[in-house]
Structure 1
């Protein structure tokens, strides 16, 4: 078992609660909208966790479409299957490394709050874009520090959040928020290189960034 599997396995229940906290649903709806989904589409979520995005995706692809959730942690997928709104019919969960997804020719791919945990985020984005058929969209939703001058106190809290929410970070003296943001930036830069018709939107007072693009 990897560090990530062990970490997220222990915290699956808490993660599930946070993933569905008040206000988060609106961010998930925005991300689903960025994918420009249509009834009958196949959409793949990389690092799907407990399936919190599934209701927003299901609403857009209808029963004729398909939703595939990929996550490396069995406990996360087990939690996802406990929710009736996230299972059955068109929803399929696959335990696999999201950086090497066993999926091809999807109509869309999304990755929410996961780009910052990969050692090589650019390579992960390469794999995600390879998973999409030409003309499909890829969307990344990630936390970030806000550029607002009024946000300095909350930016300190962001450092603490990163330490507590990612495996292997709590005991090091390095600035994990800076390392996390470098990885997120690398993922965004690669998505920018590989896609056209790109759109970026800052959410939650600048603490979230949503970048999407079309694979040519």
Structure 2
């Protein structure tokens, strides 16, 4: 495991037990974001960096009982919290780094990533790996339940031009990783970038 991966795992291990209670009002934002991903009954979707699995019930509802929902996370403590919350009933949980997803090529219809990009050790390689496991023109949602400015304020810092999630930076990053950005929303109460896999 790299130093970056160890740092991410340590960061989330310390916070896993109280993670859901820190963000009790995020549910509607997840529902809205998943709704915009355009999932259909029977689709296969991955929640990349699923954490405690807050998106998993919403993803299950979107793809129905015949669909496939996978949740992958690098931190065992977060997956334990997902199981404790009963969210493993909605998805198969994988202890995995999303930069090396244990799936064959082109087996998914979509990927959902909440708060994902800022925690990838190598964002371009990680997003390219997610493109690998998605079928041609498969979809990607990069989501956060609050916008960039609100998140920066929460952490006591200012937004800068080199912010990875700024629209021009993210558009270029996605293009280099095998994705085409379809829409970009950065509001006080939601960040959502939608993309599709390029051929």
Give the equivalent residue in structure 2 for 1:167.
Answer: none
Q: Is the 8 A contact 2:42 2:67 kept in 1?
A: yes
How far has the Cα of 1:187 moved from its partner? 4.5
Please give the secondary structure, in 2, of the residue aligned with 1:125: helix
Please give the secondary structure, in 1, of the residue aligned with 2:70: strand
* Pair 1:74–1:197, CA change in 2 (3 A): closer
Please say if 1:14 is aligned against 2:18: yes
Please give the secondary structure, in 2, of the residue aligned with 1:183: coil
* Pair 1:87–1:119, CA change in 2 (3 A): closer
How far has the Cα of 1:80 moved from its partner? 0.2
Correspondence list, 1:171-190, <5 A:
178=160, 182-185=163-166, 186-190=169-173
Structure 1 residues without counterparts, runs of 5 or longer: 147-153, 161-174
- In the aligned structure 2, how far is the partner of 1:117 from the partner of 1:159? 15
Report the count of equivalent residues. Answer: 188
Q: Is the 8 A contact 1:117 1:183 kept in 2?
A: no
Give the equivalent residue in structure 1 for 2:47.
Answer: 45
Structure 2 residues without counterparts, runs of 5 or longer: none
Stretch of structure 1 that moved more, 62-71 or 25-34: 25-34
Give the equivalent residue in structure 2 for 1:199.
Answer: 183
Give the equivalent residue in structure 2 for 1:145.
Answer: 148
- In the aligned structure 2, how far is the partner of 1:213 from the partner of 1:138? 5
* Pair 1:187–1:155, CA change in 2 (3 A): closer
Q: Is the 8 A contact 1:126 1:190 kept in 2?
A: no
* Pair 1:123–1:182, CA change in 2 (3 A): farther
Q: Which has the larger radius of gyration?
A: 1
- In the aligned structure 2, how far is the partner of 1:79 from the partner of 1:73? 10
Q: Aligned Cα RMSD in Å?
A: 2.5
Name the TM-score, length of structure 2 as normaliser: 0.82
Give the equivalent residue in structure 2 for 1:171.
Answer: none
- In the aligned structure 1, how far is the partner of 2:159 from the partner of 2:103? 31
